[in-house]
Amino acid sequence: MKKSIIPFYSSSDRIVEKSLGCFQYDSEGKKFIDFESGVWCSNLGHSHPRIVSAINEQSRKSLHSGYRFRNRESEQLSLELLRIIGFEDGASVFLSSGSEAVDLSIKIAKRLSGKKKKKILKIRNSYLSAYGYGELSSDNPHVVNAERNDFECLDRIDFSDIAVLVLELGGASVDTVRFPAIDYVQKLAELCRENSVLVIAEEVTTGMGRLGTWFGFQTYGISPDMVVTGKALGNGYPVSAVTVNYEVLKKLKNDLFIYAQSHQNDPLGCAVGVEVIKTFEEEHVIENCLKVGECFKARLQALKEAYPNVVKEVRAQGLMLALEFCESTDGSKLNERLFKAGFVVGYKQNTMRFLPPLTITEREIDMLIAVLDALLKNEYALINA
Ligand SMILES: Cc1ncc(COP(=O)(O)O)c(C=O)c1O
């Protein structure tokens, strides 16, 4: 097939024919197990039948309705998000991508913090959205980096001109799956509270069950002022949300600004989000994430023990896992071999990343581990020859 897509990222030449559950099939009929959930979006598995039905049903009613009407689907999704987040009497707004939602949440925080407080605090190597305020502009004078797990660094931060903390609790985008310590995050959140700095839980990747709780902040026992969701909220359909607590809502209503996008609060995306949450609960998806996540972690740790000169470290929380190789190992070669063998995994900085659908079973994990084991055995034999 002639290529006419701008190659902003590199992909293989294979053409996808079907994405179903934990699997993707290419045009030659080859089957892949997807340990990336697309781009960490399909937490219920690709084209989950309940999501497909919700899309079909809602698209017969209203895809998009415009600003002159309210719609039931967005109201319903907001109530569901408020319930699972634990915000009483807060509110949400819905957009399409995680980046848009992060951007808007920062805009809200800056608005409420006054003109003098311009800076955004984050833990170093957080993603901080794809545009606007992000790390892409590394000389961005408005970004302050807290060094992960460095308590002394927290003491040196000047909070007086910081408007907001954008907190990512499991970095897989810029970072290679690293988690801040619980006491560090709690201290950071406490300092923000003492200094009137709003806290945004940026849950675009960690949200919707990925870490074994609905949201990462619940794993860390902190109370944010806003929560941003995206990716898995639509299970592959683009919908994202900013959800604010009652205090933020009250202040915002007193100083509201106009913010309107074409696909804001669209009924289709919101109907999908409602069905995603229902499916999570009725199919006990988070329970599966915890159970299978433990087993996956144990299997990776067993590989580390078996091949100590090849595997440097295993990092894991729920179904966000990483296997970092020792410097002497060429992880990219192993990644290519895994792909040829029918496994899609993430790879960066000599580290393999695994964020499979939360519906994955031990069977698919065992299949991956068996192939990985054979590859590592070979590598180990070469190193020790
Ligand atoms: C933590 C985090 N936030 C935001 C985003 C951006 O989301 P989107 O690609 O939907 O704009 C990503 C994308 O990978 C992410 O990992």
Q: Domain containing 299 — which CATH number?
A: 3.90.1150.10
* Alpha-carbon torsion (195, 196, 197, 201), positive or negative: positive
What was the pLDDT predicted at 138? 56
Decide which of 298 and 381 is more confident: 298
Residue nearest to atom 9 of ligand 1 (CA): 98
CA distances in angstroms from 195 to 49, 158, 218, listed in the order given: 47, 10, 22
Domain assignment present for residue 7? The answer is no
Residue nearest to atom 7 of ligand 1 (CA): 98
CA 101 to centroid of ligand 1, rounded, Å: 10
What residues contact 39, with CB distance under 8 A and at least 6 apart? 231
* Phi, psi (deg, nearest 5) at residue 297: -60, -45
What was the pLDDT predicted at 118? 87
What was the pLDDT predicted at 132? 62
Q: Are 17 and 26 in contact (CB under 8 A)?
A: yes
Q: For the chain, what is the mean pLDDT? A: 95
Query: Residue range 188-197: average pLDDT?
Result: 97
CB atoms within 10 A of CB 73: 24
The first and second tokens of residue 14, run together, are 């294979």
CA 36 to centroid of ligand 1, rounded, Å: 14
User: The domain spanning residue 108 has which CATH number?
Assistant: 3.40.640.10
Domain assignment present for residue 104? The answer is yes
Bridge-partner residues for 253, per DSSP?
Answer: none
Pocket test for ligand 1, best of 99, 103, 122, 353 (most atoms within 8 A of CB): 99
Q: What proportion of the chain, given as a percentage, has pLDDT over 90? A: 89
> How sure is the predictor about 150, in pLDDT bands with cuts at 50, 70 and 90?
very high
Is a pLDDT exceeding 80 seen at residue 73? Answer: yes
Place of tokens 């959140």: 189
In angstroms, rounded to a whole number, what is the distance separating the alpha carbons of residues 304 and 52? 40
> How sure is the predictor about 235, in pLDDT bands with cuts at 50, 70 and 90?
very high
Looking at the structure, tell me whether residues 274 and 306 fall in a common domain: no
Domain assignment present for residue 120? The answer is yes
Looking at the structure, tell me whether residues 266 and 184 fall in a common domain: yes
Looking at the structure, tell me whether residues 228 and 289 fall in a common domain: no
Range of 308's domain? 16-34+284-383
Domain assignment present for residue 6? The answer is no
Looking at the structure, tell me whether residues 124 and 229 fall in a common domain: yes
> How sure is the predictor about 202, in pLDDT bands with cuts at 50, 70 and 90?
very high
Number of domains in the chain: 2
Looking at the structure, tell me whether residues 76 and 88 fall in a common domain: yes
Is a pLDDT exceeding 70 seen at residue 358? Answer: yes
Pocket test for ligand 1, best of 129, 133, 200, 208 (most atoms within 8 A of CB): 129
The first and second tokens of residue 180, run together, are 């801040």
In angstroms, rounded to a whole number, what is the distance separating the alpha carbons of residues 248 and 118? 18
In angstroms, rounded to a whole number, what is the distance separating the alpha carbons of residues 198 and 183? 19
Q: Are 319 and 292 in contact (CB under 8 A)?
A: yes
User: What ligand 1 atom has the least distance to the C-alpha of 240?
Assistant: 10
Report the greatest alpha carbon distance in the chain.
72
Is a pLDDT exceeding 90 seen at residue 131? Answer: no
Q: What proportion of the chain, given as a percentage, has pLDDT over 70? A: 97
Query: Residue range 221-243: average pLDDT?
Result: 98
Pocket test for ligand 1, best of 106, 169, 205 (most atoms within 8 A of CB): 205
The domain boundary residue, chosen from 266, 282, 298: 282
Looking at the structure, tell me whether residues 324 and 376 fall in a common domain: yes
Q: Are 360 and 22 in contact (CB under 8 A)?
A: yes
What residues contact 219, with CB distance under 8 A and at least 6 apart? 169, 182, 211, 212, 213, 317
Lowest model confidence (mean pLDDT) among 99-113, 116-130, 268-282, 290-304: 116-130
Looking at the structure, tell me whether residues 205 and 353 fall in a common domain: no
What was the pLDDT predicted at 380? 74
> How sure is the predictor about 181, in pLDDT bands with cuts at 50, 70 and 90?
very high
pTM (2 decimals)? 0.96
Report DSSP letters for 175-186, one per residue.
SSSB---HHHHH
* Phi, psi (deg, nearest 5) at residue 354: -130, 115
Looking at the structure, tell me whether residues 270 and 303 fall in a common domain: no
Is a pLDDT exceeding 60 seen at residue 196? Answer: yes
Looking at the structure, tell me whether residues 99 and 71 fall in a common domain: yes
Decide which of 257 and 171 is more confident: 257
Domain assignment present for residue 43? The answer is no
> How sure is the predictor about 1, in pLDDT bands with cuts at 50, 70 and 90?
confident
> How sure is the predictor about 172, in pLDDT bands with cuts at 50, 70 and 90?
confident
What was the pLDDT predicted at 268? 98
What was the pLDDT predicted at 133? 64
In angstroms, rounded to a whole number, what is the distance separating the alpha carbons of residues 125 and 84? 28
CB atoms within 10 A of CB 251: 17
The domain boundary residue, chosen from 247, 282, 317: 282
What was the pLDDT predicted at 171? 82
Looking at the structure, tell me whether residues 127 and 254 fall in a common domain: yes
Query: Residue range 179-201: average pLDDT?
Result: 97
Amino acid at site 22: C
Q: Are 154 and 188 in contact (CB under 8 A)?
A: yes
Domain assignment present for residue 1? The answer is no
What was the pLDDT predicted at 314? 98
Query: Residue range 13-34: average pLDDT?
Result: 97
Q: Are 195 and 4 in contact (CB under 8 A)?
A: no
> How sure is the predictor about 385, in pLDDT bands with cuts at 50, 70 and 90?
confident
Lowest model confidence (mean pLDDT) among 111-115, 219-223, 225-229, 362-366: 111-115
Residues recorded for the chain: 385
In angstroms, rounded to a whole number, what is the distance separating the alpha carbons of residues 165 and 96? 22
Domain assignment present for residue 40? The answer is no
The first and second tokens of residue 250, run together, are 């009250």
The domain boundary residue, chosen from 241, 260, 282: 282
Looking at the structure, tell me whether residues 346 and 248 fall in a common domain: no
Domain assignment present for residue 183? The answer is yes
Looking at the structure, tell me whether residues 63 and 131 fall in a common domain: yes
Element (H, E) at 109: helix 98-113
In angstroms, rounded to a whole number, what is the distance separating the alpha carbons of residues 74 and 93? 8
Residue nearest to atom 8 of ligand 1 (CA): 98
Is a pLDDT exceeding 70 seen at residue 369? Answer: yes
Query: Residue 346: CB within 6 Å of ligand 1?
Result: no
